[in-house]
Amino acid sequence: MLDSVLLALFLPCLGMTAVFVVYMCLLWYATTHHPDPHLPAKPVSDAGLSPSQLQKLPSITGKDLLMGSECAVCLDDIATDQPARLVPGCNHAFHVECADTWLSKHPLCPLCRAKLDPTLFSSSENPC
């Protein structure tokens, strides 16, 4: 008699537990198996600058800097005797090696994200 009462109480509990376990398994599976993780990286279609294009960028030294002497790529100061590269248009300057490394991958200013105009490289001489 007591056994049947216990069984009557125990079976629904067992059923609930089983449902709960299955539910947790499904939840775990859903959270750990993302079929298509959304990639935040935006597709970059623009290639960087070629070495010949990099050579056409204005070369200056640290003492020629008019605004700020901090290189935004390595966050270090550009010394007065250090060679630097000027980004045409926005006139931001960076160490030659920093600018070349960045610009060979991204055709834009590492500081203000201004896009480098391809026409800048068609004429090597600046009229001014």
116 is an interface residue for Zn ion by CB under 5 A: no
Binding-site member from 10, 17, 112, 118 for Zn ion (CB under 5 A) = 112
Q: What is the distance between the alpha carbons of residues 79 and 109, in angstroms, rounded to a whole number?
A: 20
Nearest distance, CB of residue 67 and Zn ion, angstroms: 10
Nearest distance, CB of residue 111 and Zn ion, angstroms: 4
120 is an interface residue for Zn ion by CB under 5 A: no
- Between the alpha carbon of residue 113 and those of residues 72, 90, 91, 108, 109, the distances in Å are 11, 9, 12, 5, 5
Nearest distance, CB of residue 34 and Zn ion, angstroms: 38
Binding-site member from 57, 85, 86, 95 for Zn ion (CB under 5 A) = 95
**Which DSSP category does 78 fall into?**
-
Map residue 95 onto helix, strand or coil. strand
> Contact region for Zn ion (CB under 5 A) — 9-17, 26-34, 84-92, 119-127?
84-92
- Distance between the two ends of the chain, CA-based, in angstroms? 106
C-beta closer to Zn ion: residue 13 or 67: 67
CB atoms within 10 A of CB 12: 9
Nearest to residue 64, comparing CAs of 87, 93, 44? 93
Nearest distance, CB of residue 59 and Zn ion, angstroms: 14
Residues forming contacts to Zn ion in the complex (CB under 5 A) are 71, 73-74, 90, 92, 95, 98, 109, 111-112, 114
